[in-house]
Amino acid sequence: MASVCERVLIELNPAVAYTFPSHHNRILEPYNYYNFGQRYIRGLVNFNASFLGHQDRFAQVRAQLAAGENVVLLANHQTEADPAVFALLLEAEFPELASNVIYVAGDRVVTDPLCKPFSMGRNLFCVHSKKHMDDDPVSKAEKQATNRRTLKAMQVALNEGGKLLWIAPSGGRDRSIDAATGENIPDAFDPSAVELMRALVTKAKPQGHLYPFAMYSYRVMPPPKTVEKSIGEQRLVFHSPVGIALCQELDVDALLEGVEDKEARQQKLADAAFEAVMEEYMTMLGVISAPDTAAEKGYSQPWLNYPTPPLDQWL
């Protein structure tokens, strides 16, 4: 907490506060912001009750990236801690995926002084979400210009190949609650966001792959129940199980075969991605509540095979 206060105070000083470019590379020195984020969120995760779904699919993604191909994860998004949760559950078996992933990040996490230090430790493509585009009409034109610059930066990166991107097509954190269980569940995907990623990876020179991706992290840092326009929301943190799982790669050509209407194509692709995420998400909740079923459903806890890092490695 002392480290959090120190880093937030720096970002409250306009003379030295960091400004994020369209394509931000994680900052590791002179201060290691990646380790800073890992260290803080690590304390919120109940690793003994957390699970990783389908290691074999993560191995497939690793092989595709090594071959110079691009991979986009179409993910549900639950908390501001999601990048750290993603990395913490992958660092044992897939450290390169944990550290090299590039997140498509909304303006909230790069402008809120409490979020900024955590965001500075991640690779980001910075965009302005449609949910907040009209919050300030005066700045709308500049926000749109920023998004155009970011899209150009994304295309340049994808043309280089070997890039892993994480995007939340819902446009924000999950706020829906399942009436039957009381559990938080993923929000629907925006077809235009899914289509944008399909178009970007298709246009890029290397081959591209789209994977639906399910994440459960809601209880470590629940978001506000409604979307807030102002910066500076209250944060609540808890010690909780988390989980991530990779769904089967989308066969885009097969899904869209025979569908000619543009909007229908976009909707069908978004629905397929979202349905895969929902199915895997519910499976993941079942595994977390009934750990004895983990192996038969393709879930594991690879971090338990490794010793806990010494404290000096976290600092």
Which residues, at least 6 apart from 141, have a Cβ–Cβ distance to it below 8 Å? none
Q: For the chain, how many helices (H) and strands (E)?
A: 11, 11
C-alpha span between 1 and 85 (Å, rounded): 18
C-alpha span between 126 and 151 (Å, rounded): 9
Q: Are strands 243-246 and 164-167 parallel, antiparallel or unpaired?
A: unpaired
* pLDDT for the residue numbered 134: 56
* pLDDT for the residue numbered 314: 47
Task: State the pTM of this model.
Answer: 0.90
Residue carrying structure tokens 């885009």: 252
The alpha-helical segments, DSSP class H, found in the chain are 2-11, 33-42, 55-66, 82-90, 95-100, 116-119, 140-160, 191-203, 252-256, 262-289, 311-314
Neighbours of 315 (CB within 10 A): 10
* pLDDT for the residue numbered 124: 97
C-alpha span between 39 and 32 (Å, rounded): 11
In tens digits, the chain (315 residues) has pLDDT values of 899 999 999 999 999 999 999 999 999 999 999 999 999 999 999 999 999 999 999 999 999 999 999 999 999 999 999 999 999 999 999 999 999 999 999 888 898 999 999 999 999 999 876 665 555 666 667 777 888 899 999 999 999 999 999 999 998 888 888 877 788 899 999 999 999 999 999 999 899 999 999 999 999 998 877 666 666 678 889 999 999 999 999 999 999 999 999 999 999 999 999 999 999 999 999 999 999 999 999 999 999 987 665 545 544
Domains with residue ranges and CATH for the chain:
18-302 (3.40.1130.10)
